[in-house]
Amino acid sequence: MPSGHVLLIFLPSATAAVGGALKVAEARKGLSLSSLAPLGLSLALSFSSPSLAVPFPAGVGAPVVVPTTPFSQSRDLKFGLEDGKIRPCPSTNPGCVSTNPKSSSFAFPLVIPSGSSENAVQALKDAILRTQKNVKFQVAEETPYGQYLQAEVDGGFGRDVMEFLVKGDVVVYRSMATKVTYIYPFTTAFGDSKGQEERMEKIVEQLGWYSPKFDTMD
């Protein structure tokens, strides 16, 4: 571009206004094109053009909230102690039994016979190995709340997780399936806690410990 010239870029909606200004300028002698640059720029910026508007998404930077469903909640499984206690069964997982009183599928804690508390964790491991398939012990540790044991075993529809907390002569536990089955279009999980109850009965029988039941309290 030759020196001394100014390039003006006008928005479509401002073209008519700028053109009018140029006609007025032509009628006035001695008014150069370069002197119209500020005027043209001012007019161009003062007119809006919807066709050139750049859309911005609403709530830029806000966290995306993903709606939860019973199915998605059932996949978010939490293990380990909660405030020093065995966790209750999730409301979205019927394939579970727990000694936590907040659980919908409640079971009574196990009572260790007198003189057997010292080797209780090892006895539990042996009973699990003898009654369950493909056992893998994930955690075995001493905590301020007792000895915690977590084992993963084969279940009916995948892998199940068993958790025990041994404290004194009492053992609290939770046995839970890690896979929950939903039948479309229903939002209620398919299954019940019978499989977990039967598993615990086999383990208790192998141990020879006492396990209170509701039907024996009549």
In a domain, 75, yes or no: no
CA distance 75 to 178: 8
pLDDT in tens, 156-203: 878 999 999 999 999 999 999 987 666 666 566 556 678 899 999 999
Q: Tell me the whole-structure pTM to 2 decimals.
A: 0.62
**Dihedral class, residue 90 (left if φ above 0, else alpha if ψ from -120 to 50, else beta):** beta
SS3 173: strand
Same domain, 90 and 39: no
Same domain, 105 and 18: no
CA distance 175 to 169: 20
Same domain, 129 and 29: no
CA distance 84 to 87: 9
Same domain, 29 and 134: no
At residue 18 the predicted structure's pLDDT band, cuts being 50, 70 and 90, is very low
The pLDDT of residue 64 is 58
Of 1-5, 93-97, 132-136, where does the model show the most confidence?
132-136
In a domain, 195, yes or no: yes
Backbone φ and ψ for 108, nearest 5 degrees, come out as -75, 150
Identify the CATH number of the domain in which residue 96 sits: 3.30.310
In a domain, 193, yes or no: yes
Is pLDDT larger for residue 177 or for residue 217? 177
Total domains in the fold of the chain = 2
SS3 67: coil
Same domain, 37 and 87: no
Same domain, 93 and 190: yes
- Residues of the chain with pLDDT > 70: what percent? 57
pLDDT > 50? residue 43: no
The residues facing 159 across adjacent strands are 154
Same domain, 36 and 118: no
Same domain, 23 and 90: no
Q: What is the mean pLDDT of residues 135-140?
A: 97
Same domain, 200 and 94: yes
Structural domain harbouring 35? 12-50
The pLDDT of residue 158 is 86
The residues facing 141 across adjacent strands are 148
SS3 40: helix
Same domain, 39 and 146: no
Q: Which residue type does 172 have?
A: V
Same domain, 123 and 195: yes
In a domain, 126, yes or no: yes
Same domain, 135 and 177: yes
CA distance 189 to 180: 7
What is the C-alpha end-to-end distance of the chain, expressed in Å? 103
